[in-house]
Amino acid sequence: MLIGCPKEIKNQEYRVGITPAAAREAIAHGHSVLMEAGAGAGSGFPDADYAAFGAEIVGSAEELFERAEMVVKVKEPQPVERARLREGQLLFTYLHLAPDPEQTRDLLKSGVTAIAYETVTDSTGGLPLLAPMSEVAGKLAPQVGAWTLQKANGGRGVLLGGVPGVGPAKVVVLGGGVVGTHAARVAAGMGADVVVLDLSMHRMRYLDDVFGDVFETRYASRGNSEELVAEADMVIGAVLIPGAAAPKLVSRAQLSTMKRGAAIVDVAIDQGGCFETSHATTHDDPIYEVDGIMHYCVANMPGAVARTSTIALGNATMPLLLALADKGWRTACAEDPHLLAGLNVHAGNLTYAAVGEALGIAVMDPATALKA
């Protein structure tokens, strides 16, 4: 198979979809790899690293999209990239379609077959291609939240860990999954007073057993949520429903109960955000204020630590990339129901139920798409 990896063009997105290690493995399996010139530079991988293993360096995205049978990326294709996709081509990347009707419409129109990293599952019920970036984003959230809390950035001027004689900041984490757990650990490590809210008693028991002396857990009832959000210096949104739009857990009305200059970090912004007042921002202009509350809602947070993120993502995607290339997407998905769960679009049809529900679009069963 001819596999192509373009340079990411989203604002300050420095990750790359294929590492030199993945390119080497794909070529060893008998495939050809096209890399757009400079695609890996932001992650510290010069073109020479790819060429050394036999990858072909192409000068433009246009050529790469035109020639590649499978396009491997990190972020969702931007409008100019979507216009280059074609019928029968395979796209393997993060998509986050539920809050993005424009992208969904363009992918359906293109006729492409698109497998989304964020909905691929595993035998434990996890999301193995989302987990590495969730870990990165979770660990970043308290850092960027602490920066947002600085007075020069519009925040309350509160130091997360406090100092002798001055108490630490109060941090509330909405969701005790991968993002929430890593966010809570880092925030607590920075000295903050941390509470994690979750609806799953099983998950809270696990967190309490493992981290009971590090941070507190509370059941995410409406009353607990309202009380703790009102007391917080920082609220981190870490809730995910696989493939679906994130639930809105904090309303605009609740902002009036919060401390002026408190910080919101919405890690769920890729799926539309879990605060009513959230909208996606960029690394260039990451924060904005609503009713005195500072919002940090960057949609590609892991791009800020591109080398770590690229290597972590590459480790997770490589086995599935090779399966798709070795067997073709139909056979690979037929043999692996967890990979089939990643199928979101095929030949003008939406194939992921949660996206269809969010956008009001009819959905083709993915098993039917395999036979189409």
Show which residues are catalytic: 96, 270
**Cβ within 8 Å of residue 131, ≥6 positions away:** 178, 316
Please identify which residue in the block is written with the tokens 């395999």: 370
Phi, psi at 281, each rounded to 5°: -125, 180
Cβ atoms within 10 Å, residue 353: 13
Q: Write the CB contacts of 316 (distance below 8 Å, at least 6 apart in sequence).
A: 128, 129, 131, 132
Distance CA 2, CA 88 (A): 13
User: How far apart, in whole angstroms, are the C-alpha atoms of residue 236 and residue 143?
Assistant: 11
Concatenated DSSP letters of 277-344: T---B-SSS-EEEETTEEEE-BTTGGGGGHHHHHHHHHHHHHHHHHHHHHH-HHHHHHH-HHHHTTEE
Question: Taking CA 321 as the corner, what is the angle to CA 109 and CA 349, rounded to the nearest 5 degrees?
Answer: 20
CB 57 within 8 A of CB 64: no
Q: Which of 26, 27, 51 is nearest to 39 (CA)?
A: 51
**Apex 311 CA angle, 307 and 314, nearest 5:** 135
Distance, in Å, from the CA atom of 349 to the CA atom of 104, rounded to the nearest integer, reads 10
Strand, helix or coil for residue 244: coil
| Angle between helix 306-327 and 20-28 (nearest 10) | 10
Pick from 353, 366, 321: nearest CA to 128: 321
Give the integer Cα–Cα distance in Å for 243 and 66.
Answer: 29
